[in-house]
Amino acid sequence: ATPTALLAATGRGAELGVLVRGPEVLEGLRRIDTVVLDKTGTLTTGRMELVEVTTAPGVGEAEVLRLAGAVEHGSEHPIGRAVAAATRLRGGAGLPAVDGFAATAGLGVRGTVEGRRVRVVRPDRVTVPGGRLRTALARAESAGRTAVVVELDGRAAAVLAVGDTVRPGSWRTLRRLRDLGLEPVLLTGDRPGPARAVAAELGITAVHAAASPERKAEVIAGLRAAGRRVAMVGDGVNDAVALASADLGVALAGGTDAAIGAAGLTLVRGDIESLVVAVRLARRTVAAIR
């Protein structure tokens, strides 16, 4: 490919909402045969909403929400935003101050609020007693929702079920990617239930769930070792390592700076449909040059 043609295509890409780090990215893109997709915020809107709150016996819903919301207020994860937003709506007034806030990618958040240790985390990282909370976890799982556990002073106090919806355009985009000969793979830190629900809705058969950020990178390395040429599409802090380890990292604008920094390609419209546009552009450009 001549540098001039690639440069022209790069400019055309920018007009179409596809930003490439350098002209060589287009050459790499036409060789891709596998597209690994993050779930939350990529295939789904990422605009999660708090749909159900289940508290342990003796724990007040308003109190749990106030404490969890205060800690999640510092999170940029879609789950955190949903919890903080719901709390602000219900609580009205300002949230209490948080000491020692910490967010762990792919795990959750913690902090101290009004002298109480609060964590909002992945259910498999806490001991959830049988009864109401355990039932709420199972219910969320079978409904394809994501559940997180609120822990107060080391004890499970509530289960929050958060619902996310598949983006309206995801189904069509997936079909187009397949038409271009690209195999989709779903790779998510979320649990198998919600992962399978989204995969089934979109007809994706290759699914890797409950993947930590490191595990995501391993899955990609595995695909590459099997001879696949892999593009990874993601939007979150938790995707940065995976984006960097793929043949091509693709970030959605509106995602986190970490993801955009690790990507060769940024989809300015914040929508995976632009990936189809980018692949077509790359193939056309290289074909025209030959």
Closest CB to ligand ADP among 50 and 148?
Answer: 148
Q: Could you tell me if 129 and 111 are in contact, meaning their C-beta atoms sit under 8 angstroms apart?
A: no
Which of the choices Mg ion, ligand ADP, none does residue 108 contact, using the CB cut-off of 5 to 8 A by kind? ligand ADP
How far is 267 from 115, CA to CA, in rounded Å?
Answer: 43
Which residue in 200, 234, 196 sits closest to 217, CA to CA? 234
**Reduced DSSP (H G I as helix, E B as strand, rest coil) percent helix, strand, coil of the chain, to 5:** 45, 25, 30
38 part of the active site? yes
| Residue 122 interaction partner, one of Mg ion, ligand ADP, none, beta carbon < 5-8 Å per kind | ligand ADP
Q: Which two tokens stand for residue 31?
A: 């060789």
Given 33, 38, 99, 153, which residue is catalytic?
Answer: 38
Neighbours of 42 (CB within 10 A): 29
From the list 10, 34, 87, 146, which residue makes contact with ligand ADP (rule: CB under 6 A)?
146
Report the residue closest to ligand ADP, judged by CB. 189
Q: Is 80 in the site for ligand ADP (CB under 6 A)?
A: yes
Residue 126 backbone phi and psi in degrees, to 5: -130, 160
Q: Choose the binding region for ligand ADP from 77-85, 197-205, 243-251, 269-277 (rule: CB under 6 A).
A: 77-85
Taking CA atoms, 205 is separated from 53, 186, 202, in Å, by 32, 8, 9
Give me 288's structure tokens.
């025209």
Q: Which is nearer to Mg ion, 40 or 274 (CB)?
A: 40
Q: Which of 73, 110, 122, 145 binds ligand ADP (CB under 6 A)?
A: 122
**Rule CB under 6 A: is residue 38 a binding residue for ligand ADP?**
yes
- Answer for which of 9, 38, 83, 163 binds Mg ion (CB under 5 A) is 38
Binding mask 214-253 for Mg ion (x = CB under 5 A): ----------------------x-----------------
Q: Does 256 bind ligand ADP (CB under 6 A)?
A: no
Tell me the C-alpha distance between 155 and 56, whole Å.
Answer: 10
Nearest approach, Cβ of residue 259 and Mg ion (Å): 8
Residue positions annotated with a catalytic role: 38
